[in-house]
Amino acid sequence: MKNIEKIRIGLDCFLLSRQNRGIANYIHRLTKLIKENKKGQIKFFFFKPRIKKIIVKSKYRSIYLNFYQIIWEQLIFPIKAKINCCNYVIYPANTGSLFLSRILNLKFILVLHDIYFTLDKNKYPQYFNLLQYLSYLYRKLLIKGLIDNAFKIITVSNFAKKMIENYDIKSINKIFIIRNSIKKENITKISTQKIPKSILLVTGFHPQKNLQNVLPYILKNLKGFTIFIVGISFENLSKIIDKNILKLGKKNNNIIIYDFLDKKNLKNIYLRSEIFLMPSIFESFSIPLLEACYYRNIIICSNTGATKETTKNKAIFYNNQNLLHLTKKINNIAKLKNLFKKKILRLQQKMLSNNDDFLDKKNFKFLLRAL
């Protein structure tokens, strides 16, 4: 590393203001690694807009913030970084300012969680979600140029790394893996009782979450379960699932839907749930798998994407093409005695070593040495 006293790095922290759970969590992970490793050799700047001071009616807030994010990312952040004499900037959310970064001579480190949105066959946005579709176009327009011009690329798993390399062979020597993590706390004294025959899905509106295929089947074929669905409103759920199936599901089971939960209330749902179900058709990492393990849910997930890598093969897997197999697994787990459930949970606890993975810290040090 040459002239280390002159190395100054700017990190775009816009999404910390928006409480975007997954990406904000990853920014915190990067921040922690930065603070642990800088040792006075490199100066970091964390740029974050004052979103709270922006007064916008709730009806238009999401639209306004999406456009403001583009202006911030493409213009304001790189200019602020240049004013502060940054040599490098970090873009943490699959996008960044390609042209202004080059004009201002800012080398950029791109955090690319995955490139799922580049694959046309996956039908990334829902046809009725205009904001998601515009976001898709925005990312797809920029991503090839960002990969080609990035100084280095950070991603979240070996699975994601291989996807990026297949998409752009030029990236093969640029990529470092730094996994996601969750913050540990002492839950041994918490006496929350698990609800028998309870299932939790921490999910979203995106087609890759696979609710449109899995939920209708399990709602028609499961009986006597408490099913928590977090991350999607009833209104949006009814757009992708027939209302009659939802009615049937509510008749046979206790279905509780939360559009959004803060960390405290989400933790309480984890603690009350017995089974955690992740039916996604694609995941490049998945924080909820770590959370479910930590809060002692028995994990059932599809054997796709990075789910096996994240869980270190300790979850109970099923094939997305065999939903009968899935319902049998759910029913069999619900019938197990507590002794056998505890054995499964002890096995799954081993996956939590992802939290403080030595390789992630080592990879970050290699990244800093490359500057």
Mean pLDDT of 33-37: 78
Distance CA 222, CA 216 (A): 10
Q: Which domains, from first to last, does the chain contain?
A: 4-178 (3.40.50), 198-355 (3.40.50.2000)
Mean pLDDT of 56-78: 82
Q: What is the mean pLDDT of the chain?
A: 86
Per residue in 137-167, pLDDT (tens digit) is 888 899 999 999 999 999 999 999 999 999 9
Split at pLDDT 50, 70, 90, the class of 248 is very high
Per residue in 186-216, pLDDT (tens digit) is 665 555 789 999 999 999 888 889 999 999 9
Residue 136: which of 207, 77, 59, 57 has the closest Cα? 207
Amino acid at residue number 237:
L
Give the phi and the psi of residue 271 in degrees, each rounded to 5.
Answer: -65, -25
User: What 3-state class would DSSP assign to 81?
Assistant: helix
Distance CA 239, CA 209 (A): 14
Residue that has been written with the tokens 């603070």 in this structure: 35
pLDDT given for residue 132 in this prediction: 72
pLDDT at 262 over 50: yes
Give residues with Cβ within 8 angstroms of 253, minimum separation 6: 219, 222, 223, 224, 225, 226, 227
Q: Which residues of 223-254 are buried (b: 16+ CB within 10 A; e: fewer)?
A: eebbbbbbbbeeebbeebbeeeebeebeebbe
Least confident of 48-57, 136-145, 265-274, 286-295: 48-57
Residue that has been written with the tokens 């390609």 in this structure: 98
Q: In what order do the strands lie in the sheet with 88-91?
A: 43-47, 8-12, 88-91, 107-111, 152-155, 175-177
2 alpha carbon, distance to own chain's centre: 35
pLDDT at 317 over 80: yes
Split at pLDDT 50, 70, 90, the class of 236 is confident
